[in-house]
Structure 1
Amino acid sequence: MKLTASPFRLSALLLGLLGIGGAVAGCQSAGGEVAVGRQSIAVAVPAPVPVAVDSLVPTPLATLPGIPPVLRAAVSELRRRLGPEAAALRPEVLERACVGYLALRQAGRLSRSGILAVADMDLPSSEPRLWVLDLRAGQVLHRSPVAHGQGSGGLRARHFSNTIKSACTSLGFYRTQDTYRGKHGLSRRLRGLDAGQNDNALRRYVVLHSADYVSQAYLAQHGQAGNSRGCPALPPDQYRAIIGALGEGGCLYLSGPGLESKWLDVAGAAQRLVARGWE
């Protein structure tokens, strides 16, 4: 009895004999062929899947709703006065920082008037993403790189946490506290003012301090800052001036994706601005 097989079955049998199937055996050449003895059979090679490249574009931020014209005009005028040194400080981040500062002053949570530090932690750590502003003079006092926590990511901070031992950056508004001398030298304690988001800062020992991994030499060699255990660490050649400018009772705002804060209170901020200006 003579058996016949379809072309499809013969192809399947041949592939099975050659070890080509669900798991391909043998050495595959760059040309997509499997070598068998002195012959080669062409095998379709799937196209490589493109690798996603980490974008350095920050997450878009919408303008805060319901801002009274007097407050919006004051922030716009401040930005104009700050000039080129604040060109990379996104308007939406500056707006939120100013609203929070004014609302906190209105609530009596800050004692240092007219000074505001803003860090856009959505920018890569290769950038100088911290600004210390004199609101009344309309001047940038300092601009520097600042580190984010190891648990938050590498070049870009992607994850944020208030959890103890998370090694993450915590977003939100901070009140600067007293200074002390620790293992990093002169340091300033930070009190987180956003419940559930950064209010473990004192217990996590999140402080402003100096770190060699934020120095210009380190950035030049590695193309980015190193990572802290959650502290907004500062360059060795700038940390003293920044810690001094902020003083005790000042405002530090760490901005980043997904931040919600009760201090983004436009009504309270406008009330304070009308009554006392940037004081």
Structure 2
Amino acid sequence: MESVADDHRVGPESARLSEPLPGVYAWVQPDGSWWVNNAGAVVGDGSVLVIDTCATAERTQRFLGALDAAVGGAPVRMAVNTHQHGDHTYGNSLLPATTVLFGHTLMREGLRVDPIIDGCPPAWEPVPDWGAVQRRLPDVAVESRQTLYVGQRRVELLHPGGPAHTTGDLVAWLPEEAVLFSGDLVFAGITPLVFMGSVTGALQAVDWLESLEPGIIVPGHGPVLSGADIARILEEHRRYYRFVLDVAEQGIAKGLSPLEAAKEVSLGEFAAWPDPERIVLNLHREYADRAGRELDLAAALGDAVTWLGGLMRTSV
């Protein structure tokens, strides 16, 4: 097993709202590890589009409060979820009742049947408490793309064309400003997670994201990216996904389980990233895909805890 960094937790008060371009906001929550996501917003002609909420009521309230102060109380007319995971969706119920919520068709179904919002399994330390949130599903289901207008500002909701981080990913792309809200198709300096999507699909999605030629990326986790950092982070993703594919191929050839394959390999350049135990989860995904079967979520989480030698750490 790889050594991991000492336990540390970052409270919700560390989150900050920035404005990379006028009327384009990024809510970045350090340190971006389990359940600690980024969100954002686009403002145009006195109305607001929110991009993702947060895992807990407290964190979502902080985000929406900071945004409200920044935009002078402009109404949140629309919101979008980039995918189904709770760190991006559980706070949906704290949006105004009049907000029209968008999400991919498969994302909507995934959140509809998600049991974790009702009580998180004890795989993390501490076990997250979501607070006063309720399941709120998208009002509008998107298939491959949807164009939104926030005032005169155009926002394209785009699906990568297949499973990647999950089966129902969307990005929010501002073509005129070259700003990309990538959701969890991008983890900046944090171990990527694809166990509910596809390793090969996530690798292909990197090329798709790059083809948009973004000047600014607000990732699902980690700092806002611009300039040379965009190419660097995308190339790190490519190397990581190829690494996972290689480990899976060698492990299957040796008759190893995902956990055994993960224990046998050194993470090398990826060892210092937060949440390194995701190697086990990502291998479970690739093994399942190669065998043509469904992923066993409970077994994957259990193996990740075993590899780590203790419960996974979170600041939620």
| Greater fraction strand | 2
Q: Rg larger in 1 or in 2?
A: 1
| Greater fraction helix | 2
TM-score (norm 2): 0.23
TM-score (norm 1): 0.25
